[in-house]
Structure 1
Amino acid sequence: MRLREKVAIVAGAGWGGIGAASAYRFAQEGAKVVINALPGEDRLFETEREIRSLGGEVVAIPGDISQSTTWEALVQAALQSFGKLDILMNNAAQAYIRPVIEISEEEWNRALAVSLTGPWLGAKHCIPAMIESGGGSIVFTSTVNSLITNPGFGVYSSSKAGLNGLTRSLAMEYGRQGIRCNAIAPGLIVGARQAAAMQADALEDTINRDLYPVGRYGKPEDIAQVALFLASDEAAFVT
């Protein structure tokens, strides 16, 4: 098993997307996982049940990752339940898809709080525990829109471009202490939440599919496989 005896925190694991798929995949490969989503995300506890059904060890902690108290609870859960922390994966994000000047100040601040401040707080609280455990891997979910953008994606692109900068900084500053940090920048990933909307607009669905050389959208499991590699010791030279 590629993550045997590893302990992971996976934030943003609540609605059947990349985070949930990654937590499940980590558990399949032997990791003990602490999973998180916003309070009220019932899918978080479904993910917890699914992981337990395969014999995995898991703790679910609802909370808002833009708040330090949530990260304190997640790290505490990892240390108290499993004794250490090796992996942080943050998949949580907030997007408002409208032209930039139509975004309210409240929405702008919320997007940055979840998509940029949240990962920063995660690193701030998790890295000391990882160093204590002898090192670790941080995996952030960024987006292709952090590199090239589309109309309406201004706030999302801005927050994720900032996340890319944070990723590089963490990799440089903590590499000598055994911490690797990487970001995955997916294109369109269709999980349970997006599938119905895509099917409802057949023309847009066809146009979007044609943009991808493989002729299909990404699936959460596609990205979970990449996250698994980056979290594992197989990626020891990747940061």
Structure 2
Amino acid sequence: IVKSKNKFTLSTPGRFGFLTEPMLNVQVIIESTITIKERIVMRLEGKVAIVAGAAWGGIGAATAYRFACEGAKVVVNTRRREEKLAETVQRIEDAGGEAAAVMGDVADESTWQTLVETALSNYGKITTLVHNAAHSYTKKAIEFTMEEWNESLGVTLGGPWLGAKYCIPEMIQNGGGALVFISTVNATITNPGFGLYGAGKSGLNALTRSIALDYGREGIRANAIAPGQIVGERGEASLAEDDLEEQASRDCYPVGRYGKPEDIANAALFLASDEADFVTGIVLTADGGLTLQSPEALVRPSFRLRWRDDILVPQPKEDS
């Protein structure tokens, strides 16, 4: 590859190297306005992010930390576990980043007023919102009380809506911004007792698309991430490798493992960065392949044997 100003000339064999043809003198000119030096600049330099649901050990904290490592200043929030929120801030500061903390319930407007005021007073603007907070009860679909229903949806769906309501005007004044909502695969597939959780996250996916459509021309992008099972600091100790139930559960994932908070933080980083400037209104599935296969593939031995390397057996050859 030869670089001349902002043009790259690439010699490639055959049809772009995919076929075993002799080397042809093919020239591909790639117009680029990005220099190699610019490519190593931190991806969120100059950004200010609010991350709701960021107690240390989970997706929100991992996202806040990842953002700070990429140059963003962050304001983090949780409604409980104040010591874990303080740990998030401490770890960011120990890594050389800047962070501020706000305790409060995301279902309460006053929490968002304080979050916005803190971001503006400390860092002068808001460019990014990540909403990770969620709350639910595990019961059959019609066994929830009205109080439980309202409490859960107030956090899971009302929180993101309030966050958008208070952050988007500030983003527009600054020329635009990015919203990243943490959803779940349980918005499209479900488990027993997950009706309330799935209802809230399904609504969140719809809200994401509406925001993207309503405010796109004002520089606002909105996207969601749908994780599968994520095991953070709190859950790792309970997952024994030799536990048959855990092995069966992991078998649901073609990648062979549960997700980590950092997996989702990396996806959020992309969606929050300028690299995703043409990406809006999507729900990005980050589930290790969980939703790729039918339930039958998980329980019928003839299917499971085809892809389990550790128990792979020869399959009958078909007549040619």
TM category (shorter chain) comes to over 0.9
What does residue 180 of structure 2 align with? 139
What does residue 65 of structure 2 align with? 24
Query: Equivalents in 1 of 2:45, 2:98: separation in Å?
Result: 12
Query: Equivalents in 2 of 1:234, 1:17: separation in Å?
Result: 25
Name the amino acid aligned to 2:221. Answer: R
TM-score normalised to structure 2 length: 0.73
Q: For structure 1, list consecutive stretches of 5 or more residues without a partner in the other structure.
A: none
Name the amino acid aligned to 1:213. Answer: P
| Cα shift readout 1:49-108 (whole Å, capped 9, x = no counterpart) | 000001111101111000000000001111110001100000000022222223222221
Matches within 5 A, 1:26-175: 26-175=67-216
Q: Sort the Cα spacing of 1:56 and 1:66 in 2 relative to 1 into closer, same or farther, 3 A.
A: same
Q: Which has the larger radius of gyration?
A: 2
| Cα shift readout 1:2-36 (whole Å, capped 9, x = no counterpart) | 00011000000014110000000000000000000
Is the CA contact 1:36–1:62 (under 8 Å) kept in the aligned structure 2? Answer: yes
Q: How far is the alpha carbon of 1:201 from its aligned partner? A: 9.5
Name the amino acid aligned to 1:69. Answer: S
What does residue 209 of structure 1 align with? 250
| Structure with the largest fraction of helix | 1
Tell which deviates more after alignment, 110-119 or 199-208: 199-208
Name the amino acid aligned to 1:123. Answer: A
- Identify the structure with bigger relative contact order (alpha carbons < 8 Å, sequence gap 6+): 1
> Of 270, 281, 284, which residue of structure 2 is paired with 1:229?
270
Name the amino acid aligned to 1:50. Answer: R
Is the CA contact 2:223–2:271 (under 8 Å) kept in the aligned structure 1? Answer: yes
| Structure with the largest fraction of strand | 2
Query: Equivalents in 1 of 2:148, 2:109: separation in Å?
Result: 20
Name the amino acid aligned to 1:171. Answer: A
Is the CA contact 2:55–2:81 (under 8 Å) kept in the aligned structure 1? Answer: no
Q: How far is the alpha carbon of 1:229 from its aligned partner? A: 0.3
Name the amino acid aligned to 1:16. Answer: G
Following superposition, which runs of at least 4 residues in structure 1 exceed 4 angstroms of deviation?
none
TM-score normalised to structure 1 length: 0.97
Is the CA contact 1:198–1:204 (under 8 Å) kept in the aligned structure 2? Answer: no
Query: Equivalents in 2 of 1:136, 1:179: separation in Å?
Result: 5
Q: Sort the Cα spacing of 1:43 and 1:99 in 2 relative to 1 into closer, same or farther, 3 A.
A: same
SS in 2 for 1:206: helix
Query: Equivalents in 2 of 1:204, 1:49: separation in Å?
Result: 37
SS in 1 for 2:129: strand
Identity of aligned residues (%): 62
Query: Equivalents in 2 of 1:94, 1:203: separation in Å?
Result: 29
Is the CA contact 1:7–1:33 (under 8 Å) kept in the aligned structure 2? Answer: yes
